[in-house]
Amino acid sequence: MDIGYARVSTAKQDLARQLDALAAAGINNAHIFVDKKSGATTDRPGLQDALRHARAGDVIVVHTLDRLGRTVRDTLNMVHELRERGVGVRTLADPLAVDTTEPDSPMAQLAFVMLALFGQMERTYAAERASHARAVATASGRRTGRPSVVDPGKLEHAALLRANGSSIREITTKTGLKRTTLYRHLPPRPSGPDNTHS
């Protein structure tokens, strides 16, 4: 029996393309398991259900190999454990076809290792690109990440206190705003002998 598995990284992403491909491959909807979880997490109940459901002679079918494992080692270990149980793995849309039900095929083995490696490399490069983009934005004075939600009334009060000579400690006490928020939103006080502890 073929058992389908589909995964997207976030709840906002759509599983439709993977599910359509699995259905087109003739996999019964009752035998398709899904996760809306990052591949970096081990908490993937859909995958665990698919693995428990699989019996000797079954094949786990995924759209692409990177849907299955977190890293090359993780993917290789999973496929090895499945092979020992007599369960195969097949992909539908990878540029190099993977089908571990043919264990003696050198090309199938090569395709599997290469695709797992490329998947991990792409995740690494994506993380590096995101890190570089954050560094460039920070160097340009642009904030990154989630937008801050700060009460404008409290900020206005804080700015008034600052202008009247209150220290950061006094402002945090009176407004309830955190120091980091104040440093982010208030202009720095001009340096001088009376302002060294502000």
What residues act catalytically? 9
* Beta carbons of 62 and 68 less than 8 angstroms apart: yes
Residue whose structure tokens are 């000797």: 56
Kindly give the interhelix angle for 168-175 and 152-163, rounded to the nearest 10 degrees. 150
Q: What is the identity of the amino acid at 49? A: D
Say how many C-beta atoms besides its own lie within 10 A of residue 66's C-beta. 20
Contact 15, 36 (CB under 8 A): yes
For residue 47, which of 93, 101, 89, 16 has the smallest C-alpha distance?
89
Residue written as token pair 């083995």: 109
Measured over the CA atoms of residue 80, residue 49, residue 69 and residue 65, the dihedral's sign is positive
Cα–Cα distance for residue pair 86/84, rounded to 1 Å: 5
